[in-house]
Structure 1
C-alpha cells in the first residue's frame, strides 16, 4: 500500500451524503413534492389553450399557479413535517445526538424546502417542453422560474419552523389558508410593495423583466427564510445575531423593488415587438413573438385582401400586436382568444373581425336623423356580410334593409362590385350623403 494512500473509512462511520438522503426520505417530503407536481400539471393542463403558444404566457401562468396553489400547499406540508418529531415525542432523542442544533435543523428542514421545489421544477420542465413546438419567438424567463423556486423553498422552511414552534395539529391547514389569503391579497394593492409578493401577476406578452428583478426577488424571499432559520436554530445565543445578515440582505433587495415605477419591473422587449410581415398586398404584419401565426392570419385574410388590392382607400398593410398602426395601416383583430398552439381555431370568425376593424369608424350621431342612421347601419352591415359573412354560431339576424343591400351586392358583376367597394372605401362613412347605396 502506498504511503500516501488515504486511511480507510471506519466501518461504523456513515457517509455524510447518506444522512441527507435519509432525511430527505423521511416524513411527508416526497409526498409534498409529488403533490406540488400533480397540482401544477393538472392546473396547467386545464389552461393549456391559453398558454401553450407563447413562452411568456407559459411562464406567467406557471408563476401564478406556483404561488397561489403550490405555495400554500408547501406551507402546510412544511408545517406538518416540522411538527412530526414533536408529535412522536422524539425531540429529546434528536437533541441527544452529537450534531449541533443548526446542523440538525438544516437536515430536518431539507425535505420541507427541497421536495416542493423538485415538484415545481418537474412540472415547469414538462410545461416548457409542451410549449416549445408551438412558439414563434421570445424566450422563457428561466430567471423568474428560479426566483419562484427560491420562494417555494422559503415557504417550506417557514412552514417547518411554524410546525416546530406550534404543536397544534390544525396549524398546518390554517397556515395554508392564511398563506393563500396573504399571497392573494398582496397582489391587489396598487403600491410598489406588491412586486415583493411571489404571487404578483404580469399579463403583457410584449415585455421582459429588468435583469436585476429575479435575483432581488430571490434574495428577498430567501433572506427572510434564512433569517428566521438562524434566529431559531443558531446556538449559542450570540450566534443568533448572524440572522441579521440575511435579514439585511433581504431588506437591501427590497429597496429597489419598492422604488419601481407603476408598471413594475417590466419593460418593452424590442425583439418580441419586431414586425414580421408577409409579401402580400395589402401586407400582413405581426410581432415576432407570434410569427408562427402569420401563415394562418395571412390565409384567413386572403379573400378580403384580394378584394382590397389596388383600390384607393384600402390599407397598405395590416399591423397586429403591440405596434400601433401608422398612416395607411389598419390594426389586426386581437387573436388571443382565437389562437391555440400557434394556430387560428376559426379563420372565418377572424376574417369577419378584421372587416369590423376595417370599418370601425367612430361617428358623431349629432345632426343625423334616425332614418339616416338606420340606413348607414344597414349599408355597413351589408358590406361587412358581403366581404366576410359572420359564422352561423356568432351571427345575428340581418334585417330586411341590410338584406336588400346584401342581395344587391351579391347580384352585381365583379366589375360592379369592385367599383362599389372603391367608392365605399373613400367615402366618409359617417356622412349619409357620401355613403353609396349598393
Structure 2
C-alpha cells in the first residue's frame, strides 16, 4: 500500500480575485433593514403632514411653531413610535425563535438593546427632520426671539423612550392587538391630569401663551424619561436586576420638582414684557416685542383712527404688553398667530379696526364701577363715528340685525346714529374740543363731565 500523505494543507480561502466577506455589526443590520427605517419615515410623514395642514395657525410665531411640534409629537409621533416598538418587541415570538435567542452567546440585555434602539433612534430622527422643516418654514414670518433647542431634544428623547417601552411591552405581551392598544395608551397617557402632566413634554405648555420653560425643565423631563426607560430595560434584561434601583432613584429625583412646581415651570417670555411702539400714530400703538413685525400692519389697519383723532388731546394709548401699562390705557386686541395674525399679516384688518374702536372707547382700568348713562352713550357714539363709512354702515346693519326684535334697542340705535351725524356736522376745531372733553371724562370715569352733543 502507498503511504498516506499526512502533511497539513493550507485552509481553503476565497476564490482568486474576491475579498473575504467583511463583518457587519448587528446594529447596522437592524438599523437598515426591517421596521426601523420605516418607523422614522412614518413619524416624519405623520407629523409633517399634520403640521402642513395646520401651517396657518403656527407659521408666524416661534412659540406657536414649537407648541404645534410638541402637539404633533404627542398625538402622531409617539403613538406610531410606540406601536412600531411594540410590534418589533414581539418579533421573536412570531418567528418562534425565543428559545434560540435565549441560548445565544450574547446576553439578554445586549440583545434587547440591539433590537430596540434602531427603531427608537429612527423615530427620533424622523421627528427632528419634521421639526427642522417647520422651523425653517417659520423663519420668514416670525418676529423677535429664536427657536429653543431644549424642547425639540426633549421631544426626541420622549419618542425614543416611548419606542423602547413599547418594545418591552411587545416582548412581554406578544399579541397582534398589543401595538394598536399601546398606541392608544400613549395617546391618552400624554394628557394625564393634575401635576403629573408635567412629566410629559407637552404637560401644561399648551395652556401658557408666549411662555418659556424654566432652564431646568428640559433637563428634568429628559432625565425622567431616560431613567424610566433604563429602569424598565434593566429590570427586563439585566442579570442583576437590582441594578434597576439606581435609575429608579433618578426617576423619583427628576419627578419631584416637576410635579411640585406645576404650572410655575412655565414663565412668561421676557420679550412679552418689552414694548415696541408706533409713536407717530394717533392713538399711540404699543405691542410686545414678540409681535413687533406685525406693528406696521397694525398701524396701517388703524390709519382711519389717526385721520379722525389727529390733534385731539387725551387720546388713550393702545397697549398690549404684560405689565407697565397706565390706568387710562385702552387694551390693544391681542395679536395671536393663527387667529388675528396669519403668517405675519392681520387676518381681518377691518374687523380688527372695529374691535379697536370699541376698546378705545370702553372702560379704562381705573373705572371700577363701569360706565353708566351719559358716558356709555357717548362711548358708543364715538366708537361708531371713528369707523370709516363702509365699515360704519356694516356695523350699523349688524347692530340693527341684533336689535330688530327689541324696540328700545332700535330707538337707542336711532339716537346713536343721530348723534354720529351731529358729530360729523361739527366744525373740526369744535369736534376736537368735544372729543378731548369726552376722553378726559372717560379717563376720570366721570359721566357728568361728558360735554353735551
TM tier relative to shorter chain: 0.7 to 0.9
Work out whether 1:68 is the aligned partner of 2:82.
no
Q: Retained in 2: the 8 A contact 1:49–1:341?
A: yes
Q: Retained in 2: the 8 A contact 1:348–1:391?
A: no
1:354-398 Cα offsets, whole Å, 9 max, x none, are 2211111268589x7xxxx4x765543332121025477776235
TM-score by length of 1: 0.85
Instruction: Please give the alpha-carbon distance, in whole angstroms, between the structure 2 residues aligned to 1:140 and 1:302.
Output: 33
Name whichever of 101-110 and 323-332 sits farther off. 323-332
Instruction: Please give the alpha-carbon distance, in whole angstroms, between the structure 2 residues aligned to 1:144 and 1:403.
Output: 54
Work out whether 1:220 is the aligned partner of 2:253.
no
Work out whether 1:284 is the aligned partner of 2:285.
yes
1:394-432 Cα offsets, whole Å, 9 max, x none, are 762353222222222233343343233223222359666
Q: Which residue of structure 2 aligns with residue 88 of structure 1?
A: 95
Name whichever of 380-389 and 161-170 sits farther off. 380-389
Displacement of 1:23 in angstroms is 0.2
Instruction: Please give the alpha-carbon distance, in whole angstroms, between the structure 2 residues aligned to 1:199 and 1:206.
Output: 14
Displacement of 1:327 in angstroms is 4.8
Work out whether 1:30 is the aligned partner of 2:32.
no
Q: Which residue, out of 20, 28, 32, partners 1:11?
A: 20
Work out whether 1:331 is the aligned partner of 2:345.
no
Q: Which residue of structure 2 aligns with residue 104 of structure 1?
A: 111
Q: Retained in 2: the 8 A contact 1:55–1:138?
A: yes
Q: Retained in 2: the 8 A contact 1:148–1:198?
A: yes
Q: Which residue, out of 184, 188, 201, partners 1:198?
A: 201
Q: Retained in 1: the 8 A contact 2:361–2:382?
A: no
Q: Which residue of structure 2 aligns with residue 120 of structure 1?
A: 127
Judged with a 3 Å threshold, the aligned counterparts in structure 2 of structure 1 residues 53 and 81 are, in CA distance, closer, same or farther, namely: same
TM-score by length of 2: 0.83
Q: Retained in 2: the 8 A contact 1:206–1:268?
A: yes
Displacement of 1:13 in angstroms is 4.8
Instruction: Please give the alpha-carbon distance, in whole angstroms, between the structure 1 residues aligned to 2:450 and 2:312.
Output: 16
Q: Which residue of structure 2 aligns with residue 207 of structure 1?
A: 211
Q: Which residue of structure 1 aligns with residue 424 of structure 2?
A: 410
1:264-300 Cα offsets, whole Å, 9 max, x none, are 3122333442112233154322211111111112222
Q: Which residue, out of 432, 435, 438, partners 2:450?
A: 435
Judged with a 3 Å threshold, the aligned counterparts in structure 2 of structure 1 residues 428 and 250 are, in CA distance, closer, same or farther, namely: closer
Q: Which residue of structure 1 aligns with residue 438 of structure 2?
A: 424
Displacement of 1:59 in angstroms is 0.7
Instruction: Please give the alpha-carbon distance, in whole angstroms, between the structure 2 residues aligned to 1:351 and 1:166.
Output: 60
- Structure 2: unaligned runs, 5 residues or longer: 1-18, 401-412
Q: Which residue, out of 342, 345, 348, partners 2:344?
A: 342
Report SS of the residue matched to 2:81.
helix
Report SS of the residue matched to 2:267.
strand
Report SS of the residue matched to 1:133.
coil
Judged with a 3 Å threshold, the aligned counterparts in structure 2 of structure 1 residues 394 and 93 are, in CA distance, closer, same or farther, namely: farther
Judged with a 3 Å threshold, the aligned counterparts in structure 2 of structure 1 residues 393 and 96 are, in CA distance, closer, same or farther, namely: farther
Q: Which residue of structure 2 aligns with residue 5 of structure 1?
A: none
Judged with a 3 Å threshold, the aligned counterparts in structure 2 of structure 1 residues 182 and 428 are, in CA distance, closer, same or farther, namely: closer
Report SS of the residue matched to 1:241.
helix
Instruction: Please give the alpha-carbon distance, in whole angstroms, between the structure 1 residues aligned to 2:22 and 2:248.
Output: 37
Question: What is the aligned residue count?
Answer: 412
Q: Which residue of structure 2 aligns with residue 263 of structure 1?
A: 263
Instruction: Please give the alpha-carbon distance, in whole angstroms, between the structure 1 residues aligned to 2:300 and 2:135.
Output: 28
Q: Which residue of structure 1 aligns with residue 252 of structure 2?
A: 251
Q: Which residue of structure 1 aligns with residue 404 of structure 2?
A: none
1:51-110 Cα offsets, whole Å, 9 max, x none, are 211111111121122123322222111111111221122333444544222222111002
Q: Which residue of structure 2 aligns with residue 137 of structure 1?
A: 144
Larger CA Rg, structure 1 vs 2: 2
Please give the residue correspondences for 1:337-416 in structure 2 after superposition, counting only pairs within 5 Å.
337-361=339-363, 364=369, 373=373, 378-389=377-388, 390=391, 396-398=398-400, 399-416=413-430
Q: Retained in 1: the 8 A contact 2:223–2:254?
A: yes
Q: Retained in 2: the 8 A contact 1:378–1:405?
A: no
Q: Which residue of structure 2 aligns with residue 7 of structure 1?
A: none
Instruction: Please give the alpha-carbon distance, in whole angstroms, between the structure 1 residues aligned to 2:159 and 2:393.
Output: 48
Instruction: Please give the alpha-carbon distance, in whole angstroms, between the structure 2 residues aligned to 1:213 and 1:331.
Output: 33
1:19-77 Cα offsets, whole Å, 9 max, x none, are 22210233322222222222212222233222211111111121122123322222111
Instruction: Please give the alpha-carbon distance, in whole angstroms, between the structure 1 residues aligned to 2:392 and 2:110.
Output: 67
Instruction: Please give the alpha-carbon distance, in whole angstroms, between the structure 1 residues aligned to 2:233 and 2:242.
Output: 12
Instruction: Please give the alpha-carbon distance, in whole angstroms, between the structure 1 residues aligned to 2:126 and 2:209.
Output: 26
1:324-346 Cα offsets, whole Å, 9 max, x none, are 52255333111222111121122
Instruction: Please give the alpha-carbon distance, in whole angstroms, between the structure 2 residues aligned to 1:329 and 1:418.
Output: 20
- Structure 1: unaligned runs, 5 residues or longer: 1-9
Q: Which residue of structure 2 aligns with residue 304 of structure 1?
A: 305
